[in-house]
Amino acid sequence: MNNFNFQDKVVIVTGAAGSLGSTVAEQFHKAGANLALVDLNFDKLQNESLKNASNVHLFPADLTNEDSVNKLVESITKVFGQIDVLANVVGGFKMGPMVHETSVADWDFMLNMNAKSVFLMSRAVIPHMLKIGKGKVVSVAARAAVEGKAKMAPYCVSKAAVITLTQSLAAEHKHNNINVNCILPGTIDTPQNRADMPNADFSNWVPTVDLANEILHLCSEQAKGVTGAAVPVYGRS
């Protein structure tokens, strides 16, 4: 058990089939939340350990597509009646060539996955939060958002966009009882990262549960005075 209480709250977790998203879902479930778990990979989502829980519903969706997002949010509100929390966890990383060798397709892929998905989900969900007079939005940016790296420009730019979008949304809704924040993970300890970097010291990486707990904290009443923040969660990485 964690120390958070999300009883009677409706929480959307995007990217819920991934390593971080599944951990975020588990932590919210332990805290008593009603969960809408969203992922493009529905087959993987159906393997979720929470899939049979009575207060958990699974939703396949392409979060880079406007129609898909609008239909998703409509379906979630039909099932649960309201939306209290949006955890924008969906995203990805792809190492690339130098900027002058980067294709438009690779640029669009990163911007769509990491930034457009947050924009579309936030745009679709916030009107429902305005109706109930409250809400929490937390997105996942990255440490790379605050310092450009060689051969990572599309990724760095896409995550920087998440920070700026977070700040703009927070400014727009600071008087509407809607808190909007993001976290900046360092290197996350996931099976994929271990496979990609087998010689690294995994003990210095950030466990997914630490990131999940910071997301829950920002979505909790303990953080009601925090909005527009980009919170570093680097561990020792």
Domain locations in the chain as residue ranges? 10-233
Count of positions (residues) in the chain: 237
Pick the CATH number of 10-233 from 3.20.20.70, 3.40.50.970, 3.40.50.720, 3.30.420.40: 3.40.50.720
Per-residue pLDDT of the chain (237 residues; tens, 9 = 90+): 578 999 999 999 999 999 999 999 999 999 999 999 999 999 999 877 787 888 999 999 999 999 999 999 999 999 999 999 999 999 999 899 999 999 999 999 999 999 999 999 999 999 999 999 999 999 999 999 999 999 999 999 999 999 999 999 999 999 999 999 999 999 888 888 888 889 998 999 999 999 999 999 999 999 999 999 999 999 888
DSSP-assigned letters across all residues of 23-64: HHHHHHHHTT-EEEEEES-HHHHTT-TTTT-TTEEEEE--TT
Residue 18: per-residue pLDDT: 94
Amino acid letter, 16: A
- CA atoms of 67 and 47, how far apart (whole Å): 26
Give the model's pLDDT for residue 122.
98
Note the pLDDT of residue 121: 99
Q: Of 14, 3, 162, 193, whose CA–CA distance to 86 is shortest?
A: 14
pLDDT number for residue 96: 92
Burial 168-195 (b: 16+ CB within 10 A, else e): ebbeebeeeebbbbbbbbbbbbbeebee
Residues forming the active site: 155
- Predicted confidence at residue 1, as pLDDT, reads 58
